[in-house]
Amino acid sequence: MSLKISVIGTGYLGATHAAAMAELGFEVLGLDVVAEKIDKLRRGEVPMYEPGLEELLRKHVAGLPGSSGRLRFTMDFAEAAAFGDVHFVCVNTPQRHGEYAADMSYVDSAVASLAPHLTRPTLVVGKSTVPVGSADRLAAYLAAHAPAGEAAELAWNPEFLREGFAVDDTLHPDRIVTGVRSARAEELLRQVYATPIADGTPFVVTDFPTAELVKTSANSFLATKISFINAMAEVCEAAGGDVAKLAEAIGHDDRIGRKFLRAGIGFGGGCLPKDIRAFMARAGELGADQALTFLREIDSINMRQRGQMVELARQALGGGSFLGKRVAVLGAAFKPDSDDVRDSPALNVAGQIHLQGGQVTVFDPKGMENARRVFPTLGYADSALEAVRGADVVLHLTEWREFRELDPRELGKVASAQVILDGRNALDPELWRAAGWTYRAMGRPTA
Ligand code: UGA
**424 ligand 1 Cβ < 6 A:** no
Mean pLDDT of the region 172-200: 97
Pocket test for ligand 1, best of 93, 248, 267 (most atoms within 8 A of CB): 267
Residue minimizing CA distance to atom 33 of ligand 1: 266
Same CATH topology for 4-206 and 222-441: the answer is yes
CA of 373 to the centre of ligand 1 (A): 22
pLDDT higher than threshold 70 for residue 1 = no
Residue minimizing CA distance to atom 28 of ligand 1: 335
37 is in an annotated binding site: yes
Domain ranges of the chain: 4-206, 222-441
Backbone angles phi, psi at 290, to 5 degrees: -60, -35
Single pTM value for the model: 0.96
129 is in an annotated binding site: yes
**226 ligand 1 Cβ < 6 A:** yes
**14 ligand 1 Cβ < 6 A:** no
Q: What's the rounded Cα separation, in Å, for the pair 348 and 386?
A: 21
Atom nearest to 269 CA in ligand 1: 14
pLDDT higher than threshold 80 for residue 102 = yes
- Known catalytic residues are 271
93 is in an annotated binding site: yes
Residue minimizing CA distance to atom 14 of ligand 1: 271
pLDDT, tens digit (0-9, with 9 covering 90-100), for 324-352: 999 999 999 999 999 999 999 999 999 99
pLDDT, tens digit (0-9, with 9 covering 90-100), for 47-96: 899 999 999 999 999 999 999 999 999 999 999 999 999 999 999 999 99
Please report which helix (H) or strand (E) contains residue 8, including its range.
strand 4-8
The rounded Cα 380 to chain-centroid distance in angstroms is 24
Atom nearest to 345 CA in ligand 1: 26
What fold does the segment set 222-441 form as a domain? Answer: Rossmann fold (3.40.50)
- AA identity, residue 378: L
pLDDT, tens digit (0-9, with 9 covering 90-100), for 3-59: 999 999 999 999 999 999 999 999 999 999 999 999 999 999 998 999 999 999 999
342 is in an annotated binding site: yes
Contacts 24+ apart (CB under 8 A), 313-321: 313/349, 313/353, 313/358, 313/393, 313/395, 313/421, 316/393, 316/419, 316/421, 316/438, 316/440, 317/392, 317/393, 321/356, 321/357
CA of 445 to the centre of ligand 1 (A): 27
Answer for the pair 274, 263: CB distance below 8 angstroms, yes or no. Answer: no
Atom nearest to 260 CA in ligand 1: 36
Backbone angles phi, psi at 181, to 5 degrees: -120, 0
Q: What's the rounded Cα separation, in Å, for the pair 302 and 351?
A: 17
* Res 8: pLDDT: 98
260 is in an annotated binding site: yes
Instruction: Name the pairing type of β-strands 419-422 and 438-441.
Output: parallel
- CATH architecture for segment(s) 4-206: 3-Layer(aba) Sandwich (3.40)
